[in-house]
Structure 1
Amino acid sequence: MPAASARPLLLALALTGLLAPSAFAQTAAQTAAQIAPACGGDLPTFLQGVKAEAVSMGASAEAADRALAGAAIDQKVLSRDRAQGVFRQTFLEFSQRTVSQARLDIGRQKMQQYAQVFQRAEKEYGVAPGVITAFWAMETDFGAVQGDFNTRNALVTLSHDCRRPELFRPQLLALIEMVQHGDLDPATNTGAWAGEIGQVQMLPKDIIAHGVDGDGDGHINVKTSAPDAILTAASFIKSLGFKPGEPWIQEVELPESLPYEKSGLGNEMPASEWFKLGVKPRDGNTAFGALPAALVLPQGRKGPAFITYPNFAIYLAWNQSFIYTTSAAYFATRLAGAPPYAKGNPEPGLSIEEMKLLQTKLDGIGHDVGKIDGILGSGTRVAVQKAQQKLGMPADGWPTAALLNAL
């Protein structure tokens, strides 16, 4: 492995404070803290505080100056942050759009083109090629759409803004480290509005901690180097707890009757117990019966059905949207050779206004649905399931007109 491979550990140690800063750097940081607020205020003064903190953590003053020179507040970033979208599509709608035949074909071509890189990823990090490739496809269409926001300005904007500085200031400090090691040009590097960079859209702090020089050029460039992006993603996924050789999701067929109140993420039992209840893997593979598994029904008992295994947790760590994560996990199984899922014939869902009415009714009888926004989030799914069970309906967590009328 190239000498640069030791860099992520050193930078991670610096960022977490495990490498002690010098007394001079500590004094500089303390002085900056006295004159510069953690967020908001005059931008030059704020940037002076960021520079002092970066220097106290091991960055050079020259690198900090280079990284922050010309930094500006991007109002478009603030607009995106204030108006973040949420998934309103159903699983069938979203997965049919994202897991297209064209993407599957390109994904398989990429897996052949970079076969040696994927072999290294699996050997060193234990991550299956399809898992990485599915993220690569869904995040940027294999690098084609990486975002056009200046990364430095995006992170300066979100760090300076006082809504969530604790999330973004560490990313800005990590970006300075990337600049110091020649892995990012602050003036030209572009990415997503929230600071994600590269072909698999990772934040600077994660790139520093898990970056791998896959092409051997002495730098970690997840924006233009597919080998760097693939191996960095593999390292990151491993850090999330991915277990080699184990499945992540498996499509199943359901029996005519089932205790649906046992379904849903968080309601795990050995997969063998699901098999005993009549749940059948479509591929016939019951070899992982000893693993804990949850039955997930994205559109209720009449739609596609899956059991998730412990490796599915890495998807939830990557993105908290249930629809996104289930689609990405399904995509990875397709790249690994699984057939298309059975669409089934799910019951029609509710409109946004009907969902708001349902949430209002559920909230009124003591269920915690969170914000009444017309979105089928995790809290609403749980509330729906509990209400269905109490009413003697199949408790599959899918909101329908029948449930709304019953309430």
Structure 2
Amino acid sequence: MRLAAALFACCLASPALAQLPCGGDFADWVTATKAEAVANGIPQDTAAAFFADLSPDPRVLKADRSQGVFRKSFLEFSQSLISRDRLVRGRALADQWDAIFDKAEADYGVSRGILLAFWAFETDYGAVQGDFNTRRALVTLAHDCRRPDLFRPQVLAALEMYRLGEFDLDTTGAWAGEIGMVQMLPGDILARGVDGDGDGLITLKTSVPDALLSGAKMLQYHGWRAGEPWMQEVMLPETFDWSLTGLETELPAEQWAAMGVQIRNGVVQNGLPASILLPQGRKGPAFLVYPNFRTLFDWNKSFVYVTTAAYFGTRLMGAEPYLAGNPDPALSLDQMKALQTRLTALGHDVGAVDGILGAGTRVAVQKEQARLGLPADAWPTVELLNRL
């Protein structure tokens, strides 16, 4: 473990920091946070410089509350992110950085396909890394009361990086504080950053080897299993029991094959647990997903983002375009919110009523479909909304 990671872990163990309340006067909050950091070993002048001239960033709060892109269906989302140009550039970059991708697989077991997919989606292969001041973004989100427990440790991690000379006060990145080509938070950089180019520094904004190997190490940390697939497109018989689909049901891959599940490209991975994923119901694309797929939710919590990134990773490795099918129309934003409200009233935990078809809403939809005698494929329809 790097010394920085050890020091960061010590800072997180501070009960005083854990009890610091969110919200309230911003200047008072900054003063209290700075004082706690000093009490936990950060030099006074270092803390003073790091916390100087800060104010909340309204653009960050707006972005945090308006992630409407994740309301798109899988077909809409994937078609908006995946283009021929991105495929061609991805495959060219795979050749250009072949030795680094080989090292990522040898050292961390992570396939180049999935690393390329995240590199593409997070920053368009490094071209668009975000223009938000990272320090200001993290402090804004740590002070805000929506997710302070997530972002307060990241402020401390950025402060520790600054103390070590690995973080400039004018560092920019994504609105949520992620930095570099594969968009990693400061805490992950401290604990799992890799000096891939051997220059003695970990610079995820400018070094492709550093960025890719750090991303691979992070995926390994979250449970990525070497030598195993993450997703295969499948074709299902029309008589399939749709209630068995979804991430909640996991069976050996060969058992799915015995039920008539056919792998479209390749062969079934015997001995591996797998689930059937229908991102737009039984009339749309179908995928068999393996344990590695589940680790991707530790990179991004969005169901549609993770499914699209996983699919793009298979395309970069040579898979054919999916069979889009003809899914039932997606609900409008107002209809989805109405559905989530009714599901909540029935006792289901769908999280926020935000119009996003996330994992919790999918589970609730599938349960209600089964209860009402509808095909239980977890894809909400107008018929289901009306029945409820």
Question: What TM-score, normalized to structure 2?
Answer: 0.91
Residues 231, 68 of structure 1: CA spacing in aligned structure 2 closer, same or farther, 3 A cutoff? same
Contact 1:294/1:307 (8 A) holds in 2: yes
Which residue, out of 343, 357, 362, partners 1:376?
A: 357
Provide the C-alpha distance between the structure 2 equivalents of 1:153 and 1:383, rounded to a whole number of angstroms.
38
In 1, Cα distance between equivalents of 2:334 and 2:24: 41
Query: Are positions 1:385 and 2:366 aligned together?
Result: yes
1:64 aligns with 2:64: no
Partner of 1:15: 8
Which amino acid is 1:324 matched to? Y
Greater Cα offset, 151-160 or 123-132: 151-160
Which amino acid in 1 is paired with 2:292?
N
Q: Give the secondary structure class of the aligned counterpart of 2:206.
A: coil
**TM superposition shift of 1:338:** 1.2
Q: CA 1:217/1:19 → structure 2, altered by over 3 Å: closer, same or farther?
A: same
The Cα offsets for residues 313-335 of structure 1, whole Å up to 9 and x where unpaired, read as 11111111111110000111111
Computed over aligned residues only, the root mean square deviation of the Cα atoms, in angstroms, reads 2.5
Deviations 1:279-333 (A, max 9, x none): 01111312x2211111010011111000110111111111111111100001111
What secondary structure does 2:177 align onto?
Answer: coil
* Partner AA of 1:16 in structure 2: A
- For the 8 Å contact 1:14–1:57, the answer to whether it is kept is no
1:354 is aligned, of 335, 341, 344, to 335
Q: What residue is the counterpart of 2:211 in the other structure?
A: 229
1:331 pairs, out of 312, 325, 345, with: 312
Q: 1:260 aligns with which of 242, 249, 252?
A: 242
Match of 1:396 among 368, 374, 377: 377
Residues in 1 aligned to 2:12 and 2:246: alpha-carbon distance in whole angstroms: 43
Kindly indicate whether the alpha-carbon contact (under 8 Å) linking 2:11 and 2:156 is maintained by their aligned counterparts in 1.
no
- CA deviation after TM superposition for structure 1 residue 275, in Å: 0.5
Question: In 2, are the aligned partners of 1:184 and 1:221 still within 8 Å (CA)?
Answer: no
The structure with the largest alpha-carbon Rg is 1
Residue 96 of structure 1 aligns to a residue whose secondary structure is helix
Q: CA deviation at 1:389?
A: 1.8
| Residue 319 (structure 1) aligned with residue 319 (structure 2) | no
1:124-148, CA deviations, whole angstroms, 9 ceiling, x for partnerless residues? 1111111111001001101111111
Letter in 2 for 1:385: Q
Matching residue within 90, 94, 114 for 2:97: 114
2:180 aligns with: 198
- Cα distance, 1:371 vs structure 2: 4.1
Superposed displacement of residue 349, structure 1:
2.4
Answer whether contact 2:11 2:40 (CA < 8 A) is retained: no
User: For residue 199 of structure 2, what is the amino acid of its counterpart?
Assistant: D
Residue 70 (structure 2) pairs with residue 87 (structure 1)? yes
- Choose 93-102 or 397-406, whichever is displaced more: 397-406
- TM value normalised by structure 1: 0.87
Q: Tell me, which stretches of 5 or more residues in structure 1 are unaligned?
A: 1-7, 21-25
Q: Match of 1:294, SS?
A: strand
How many residue pairs get aligned? The number is 387
**Aligned residue type for 1:358:** L
Read off the aligned partner of 1:9 and give its amino acid letter.
R
Identity, % of aligned pairs? 56
**Deviation of 1:254 (Å):** 0.6
Report the 3-state secondary structure (helix = DSSP H, G, I; strand = E; otherwise coil) of the residue aligned with 2:357. coil
User: Per the alignment, do residues 108 and 298 of structure 1 end up closer, same or farther by CA in structure 2, a change over 3 Å counting?
Assistant: same
CA–CA distance in 2 between the matches of 1:228 and 1:369? 38
